[in-house]
Amino acid sequence: MQDLPSCGPTRLKAHEHDLPCRAQMAIYPIRTFGDPVLRLPTKPIAEIDDIVVTLARDMIEIMYDAPGVGLAANQIGISRRIAVFDANDELGPRVMINPEIVETAGEFEMDEGCLSVPGHYWEITRPAFARVKALDLDGNEVEYAGDGLLGRVLQHEIGHLEGGLLLDVLPKRARKKALKELRDEALGFA
């Protein structure tokens, strides 16, 4: 079941899977900065059932429609430890259930954005490499590891699942400036 349907325009055709692709608005809206659900650590998934499978498929559709390269469940208001991603590496969409980072190495700086802080990008330093252990939709333990975009996406999505935002990894001065920008924007001053 790891081969999931993608309803994004450049992915699979609807007839290739039993779940039809829907060219409609997102099933769940993406929660944005200021929504308290983004700051709550998510709860582990105890059982992988049809509800979890459907959620994963919906999340992949939402991720592609956004468009984005990753999406954590709390970004759509569901406080469960599941995330999806596609690091543009020819492997397509993947699911991480109850993921944990087990190794990081190096340091890498790049502009990073977030679907929950739309339209904003900041230069963020993170470990260059990340290794993650998780469960797939069949309940099998899987490992995802990589550097560059893959390593970044793994860390970013797991950060969400722990109640974090990319603002949290900014240096103090940059974080203060970013929060001021977001506050001014919310108040209509930007």
Token couple for 173: 């001065």
Catalytic residue, candidates 157, 162, 181, 185: 157
CB half-sphere exposure, 28, CA atoms < 13 A: 22
Displacement of CA 162 from its chain's centroid (Å)? 12
Q: Residue 44 class from Cβ within 10 Å (0-12 exposed, 13-18 middle, 19+ buried)?
A: exposed
Question: What is the enclosing helix (H) or strand (E) of 83?
Answer: strand 82-85
Neighbours of 3 (CB within 10 A): 12
Contact by Cβ (8 Å): 4, 58: no
Neighbours of 150 (CB within 10 A): 22
Cα separation, 183 vs 190, whole angstroms: 9
Task: Name the DSSP letter for residue 80.
Answer: B
> Is-catalytic flag, 103?
no
Amino acid, res. 4: L
As annotated, the active-site residues are: 157
